[in-house]
Structure 1
Amino acid sequence: MLNRSLAVAITGYQKYISPYKGFCCAHRVKHGGISCSEHVKQALLHHGIWLAIPDIKQRFHECKLAASALNAGNNAHGRARGRERNRSRRQEKNSILDNCDCCIDLIPSESCSPLEAVGGGVDACSCTPW
């Protein structure tokens, strides 16, 4: 019963929270496959909470390593790329604001699609989709 309740809670997180947080699971980005939340949910349902705990700890450790590797890779590509990306985002934001004076700054992250990042990819005043 506890395992199913936890799985339902994880499903709620996946459906209602994760799409709006603006970033994706580092393990999934680096290695492909399922996200950590899906991995944990499957481990709970297949093995039960007590047998799943070591597997969950291992997965989170691997995700932390993947995040570190991805961050190191991003830093290695140089700061110029980041400055160019920020300049592009500012220009995009300014062009949206020129067309609609009630828009909110909702620039999607690079690691997720605009739909995941802003819950539908449409700004606050129903201007054109990203």
Structure 2
Amino acid sequence: MKRPTGFLVRLALAAIRGYQRHLSPHKGFSCAYRVATGRASCSRHGYRVIERFGLWSGLALLRRRLRLCGATYRSRVAVRNPVLHHQRGDCVPCDCDAGCLPDLPCSGKSAARGGGDCIAECGCDVLGHYLEEKAERAKARWRRWRERRRARREPPPRR
């Protein structure tokens, strides 16, 4: 099979190669589809399909891949770890009377020593809540699996 060559194909391949060499290393993260599946990144896939099938067919295949990558990213963002999210300094979701406080390491001891500027002591345990919810989800998955297994084992009713 003859590879398509032309000015637009070479220009698209040069743009992808420039992105891979100069922009992608400075972004600090990788393609979500690549991380999730272990396959080639979107830019590598785009380079390969444009090189193999030409510009227009390659762009159609790349568009489909980018849609998959976006869906993968959105599905992974919905499942982010709240503990790591709050380590950025975002507000801790708790039922404290103090309202929305940044997640700062403050306790009665540090406030007494003058080591912290705590408005109020928050008794919330974000990590504890997260681990409890995670354990409950795991127990629910285990129960569903056990019920499916029991349903498979039960012999059909005799006539």
Q: TM-score range with shorter-chain normalisation? A: 0.5 to 0.7
**What letter is aligned with 1:4?**
R
CA distance in 2, matches of 1:36, 1:63: 8
Once the two structures are superposed, residues 92-122 of structure 1 have per-residue CA deviations (whole angstroms, 9 ceiling, x without a partner) of xxxxxxxxxxxxxxxxxxxxxxxxxxxxxxx
Once the two structures are superposed, residues 25-53 of structure 1 have per-residue CA deviations (whole angstroms, 9 ceiling, x without a partner) of 11111111111011111110000012223
* Partner residue, 1:9: 15
* Partner residue, 1:38: 44
State the identity as a percent: 31
Larger radius of gyration: 2
| 2:83 paired with 1:72 | no
Structure 2 unaligned segments of length 5 or more: list them. Answer: 1-5, 90-159
* Partner residue, 1:99: none
How many residues get paired? 83
Q: CA deviation at 1:8?
A: 1.5
| 2:67 paired with 1:61 | yes
**What letter is aligned with 1:30?**
A
Q: CA deviation at 1:54?
A: 2.1
Name the one with the larger helix percent.
Answer: 1
Q: Which has the bigger relative contact order, CA under 8 A and spacing at least 6?
A: 1
